[in-house]
A and B are shown apart, each in its own frame.
Chain A
Amino acid sequence: MPTSEHGEFEEATKSAYNFEYYDSSWELDLMKELEKDSEVVKWTKNHGIIIPYWDEDGKLRGFKPDFLTEKKDGTKELIEIKGRHLLLQFKRKMEAAESWCKARKMNFRVVSRY
């Protein structure tokens, strides 16, 4: 399980900001990975994207994916980190995010462990 750690990642060379906030150990791990990954040229958590979706009560809500990245070839991707046990509840958000990305020729990826 990820532990709830919070903090600022200050070694982000591919981000536009002086630091990036992380809210779990998984997020911190992914930040480090993105920094190492030579395919990725830019990434941030501070992207301001809110994807509208409807929850099971029929209420309109906004979903904020965790990461936005840009690769060498210019493809852009939204990444959401989720524990596997939460994936089922996450279905509505995921569908909304997929169609949102598709319309923009972007990728949507869920990173899950355990």
Chain B
Amino acid sequence: MADSFTVPAAATQDERVFPAPLVAGTNDFASVTETVCSIVEAPRAPKAWYVIFGIAVALLGVLGAMIVYLVSTGVGVWGNNQPVAWGWPIVNFVFWVGIGHAGTLISAVLFLFRQGWRTGINRFSEAMTIFAVICAGMFPAIHVGRIWVIWWVFPIPNQMSMWPNFRSPLLWDVFAVSTYFSVSLLFWYMGLVPDLATIRDRAKTKARRFWYGLFSLGWTGSNRQWHRYERAYLILAALATPLVLSVHSVVSFDFATSQLPGWHTTIFPPYFVAGAIFSGFAMVLTLAIPARKMFGLEDLITMRHIENMCKIIMATGMMVGYAYAMEFFMAWYSGNTYEGFAFVNRAFGPYWWAYWIMVSCNVISPQIFWSKKARTNLTLVFIMSIFVNIGMWFERFVITVTSLNRDFLPSSWHYFSPTWVDVLTLLGSFGLFFTLFMLFCRWLPQVAISEVKNVMPQAHPHHHPSEGKEG
């Protein structure tokens, strides 16, 4: 007993409400396959690939040399001192592990939110996650000093009959990062299988047929298999979501469970997660903008994708800014002189320059993305994405070093400077990352072919099936 409405059609036709199509240009399924597979099948990679790969391998070599030097000589080759016992290695660890989070967010969280635009970038970013986590995991492993007994962090019976201390956040880290790495790897590989099958079915050489055939596990696109596959994908996405929240929260626990001013504050877990996603998306942009040009993927990674990523960067940047504001307010409100000092020290103490780089890169510079013009200017977006990552590296630096460098007892204060080994190790880690990433770009499908096809308009049947006799 209510008035019924006739629906004026005008609003639903207003184009401004609807975003651009997910796959640009005149593409059908076959052209999507061709676009992505041709990169893998090309006899030679684009010239730029060789240049970048060459530089990456060189940096990887530097990393190798630095690690050998470190392990053979000792942790003293780094700038770590007392009281700044956590220096660049831990900053780099948090930096890399944070970057990895975007991949899982895109794969898992955006999947749960039914965001079709994720399909253009999810393969790419999941690969980025795995490589970033490899780079991340390396740092705690090499920073322990006696790396040959690093296996003691696992609950493996040893000659001392001792077990690891599970009450320590450092050990939670071991479990969190290993779980994160293995689950991300499984998720990424699972997504790859149908696409590897596509490459296998197009393969012209025996070697290609063998290797892609081996890793595609005999996938034939059977719908009964797709059914279980989709269910498993959904379950993995639903598991990966709290996992990604937990991993960087556990990393934040490394700091927050302590009693140090500037470290011990309850907002660290969600703040670190937001910051991780912030830096991760920036890295995806840093990679995607050149890659789509180099490999001809502009129809699959469109301006809509770029813009959405910019918006997520803004949103997470705001969350990081919120956390800064809360910490700053509480530093005063709490009346805790140490906490108050820690914040004044960050802004005006010996590391003031790092603090202001952090604030300008993380809070001020992303504001440019309010403007649509800025979001659609690829050069600007690329530069901004690098700034964001610089800002996030400095954020971890500021958190780690300023709280250690000046804590409760002034007689213990001591300045920290990195050594050339610190710097080269960080640069080398980029070498590891880019080497793996370039290999991925060359030999594996960069875009999730089957998932992109799934969000094209041609993929949706016009009618809904009847339930049938068994339904």
Partners in one complex: no
Q: Please list the residues of chain B having a beta carbon within 8 angstroms of any beta carbon in chain A.
A: none
**Residues of A near any B CB (own CB < 8 A):** none
